Amino acid sequence: MARSNEVNLNECKMVVPLNTWVLISNFKLAYNLLRRPDGTFNRHLAEFLDRKVPANANPVDGVFSFDVLIDRGTSLLSRIYRPATAEEPQPNVAELEKPVTAEVVPVIIFFHGGSFAHSSANSAIYDTLCRRLVGLCKAVVLSVNYRRAPENRYPCAYDDGWTALKWVNSRPWLQSQKDSKVHIYLAGDSSGGNIVHHVALRAMESGTHVLGNILLNPMFGGQERTESEQRLDGKYFVTLRDRDWYWRAYLPEGEDRDHHACNPFGPNGRSLEGIKFPKSLVVVAGLDLIQDWQLAYVEGLKKADQEVKLLYMEQATIGFYLLPNNNHFHTVMDEISKFVGSDC
């Protein structure tokens, strides 16, 4: 085992910048300490180690943020990010929910990653990412602090996503001037990407219009062991063992990875043929061991005649979008901007 680790560590080091390697390796090792073999999770230590940042109603680099309580019953918090306008350098509490003024304002509902168990809306890495999305897409971003596994299994995360979507859709102050409707996009990375798909499904079923889905390295899986999983197991920060642990923690007890939450186009999935699903932008990292499942997802959408664009970043590892220090990052950000900007 030590021998293959040598090789793994060396390859890994060659493809990411040093500070990215340090960041992701730190997460990897810290997360190893938090998962217990019996399926429980050291939540206290996880929260202690997670680097968080408070909301900031004073604009920083043109973006300000504030937290809202969307659902009292489940303590569902979300953090809202808005672009600062020139006139109000320091918004006071009554102005935070001032109506958006442009003809079209995209509202991106963002679901952070963490394999359903880690991170929060106020984790530093995700606060940074959401702030970027505001400037990039001239959008309002709402980052959902969904309930996490293993304390809260399927379908809690999807329920929270759906609650947030309904809330956003019913805010008059988020309506674009052009048609007095809220222009909603769903976005997420890792488990967040998975949540995007399932929340979009619910939206569709209830006739709520979602303009587009953005899935960054979305977390999907299945019972079968695919070629990419075997080839890349342990090579680039992620192991099959940890993937299995997180699915066991999220899926209902006794279910396997062909459950439709994990494998939406698998044996227990549902076909989207004949259904008006939002257009999708799916980003797949070429060094992500679950890419076969992500590519199968794209295929599933195509087979159902749904609009989907695949961005396959060959030399990218997980988390490449967290630090703006590589080419993949900039490519993906450009594509996201185009994707959101194309509805006017």
Partner 1 sequence: MVLYDSATLAGSSSGSSSSSSSKPPPLQPEQRQDIDGHLAGAGYKVRSSELRKVAQRLERLETAMVNSPADLSQLASDTIHYNPSDLASWVDSLLSEFPLTPTCPAEFVTDPVTNQTVVNDAWTTTETNMLLVPQNVSYEQQNLNNQLTVVTAMEEDSGIRLVHMLMTCAECVQCGDFSLATSFLEDMQGLLTRVNTVCGIGKVAGHFIDALSRRIFQGIGGGSINGGSAYENEILYHHFYEACPYLKFAHFTANQAILEAFDGHDCVHVVDFNLMHGLQWPALIQALALRPGGPPLLRLTGIGPPSPDGRDSLREVGLRLAELARSVNVRFAFRGVAASRLEDVKPWMLQVNPKESVAVNSIMQLHRLLGSDPNRNAPIETVLNWIRSLNPKIMTVVEQEANHNQPGFLYRFTEALHYYSTMFDSLEACTVQPNKALAEIYIQREITNVVSCEGSARVERHEPLAKWRIRLTGAGFRPLHLGSNAYKQASMLLTLFSAEGYSVEENDGYLTLGWHSRPLIAASAWQAVSDAPSEFPVPDTHRLS
Token couple for 256: 């396997």
Contact criterion met (CB below 8 Å) for 196 and 215: yes
Contact criterion met (CB below 8 Å) for 137 and 340: yes
Closest separation in Å from C-beta 327 to partner 1: 6
| Residue whose C-alpha is closest to residue 297's, from 214, 217, 220 | 220
Could you list the beta-strand ranges (E) of the chain: 63-71, 76-83, 106-111, 140-144, 183-189, 212-216, 279-285, 308-313
Chain positions contacting partner 1, by CB under 8 A? 1-2, 5-6, 9-10, 13-23, 25-26, 28-29, 32-37, 42-45, 47-49, 51-58, 60, 66-70, 74-75, 77, 79, 90, 92-94, 96-97, 122-125, 128, 322-327
Q: Among this protein's residues, is 228 annotated catalytic?
A: no
Q: Please, what's the b/e burial string for 269-297 (b: 16 or more CB within 10 A of its CB; e: otherwise)?
A: beebeeeebbbbbbbbbbbbbbbbbbbbb
| The one catalytic residue among 78, 190, 191, 280 | 190
Nearer to partner 1, 26 or 177 (CB): 26
**Cα distances (Å, whole numbers) of residue 114 to 50, 134, 149, 181, 254:** 11, 21, 10, 32, 22
Question: How many angstroms from the chain centroid is the CA of residue 202?
Answer: 17
Token couple for 141: 């971003």
Closest separation in Å from C-beta 16 to partner 1: 8
Nearer to partner 1, 99 or 267 (CB): 99
Nearer to partner 1, 36 or 231 (CB): 36
Nearer to partner 1, 44 or 344 (CB): 44
Closest separation in Å from C-beta 136 to partner 1: 15
Closest separation in Å from C-beta 33 to partner 1: 4
Nearer to partner 1, 240 or 304 (CB): 240
Active site residues: 190
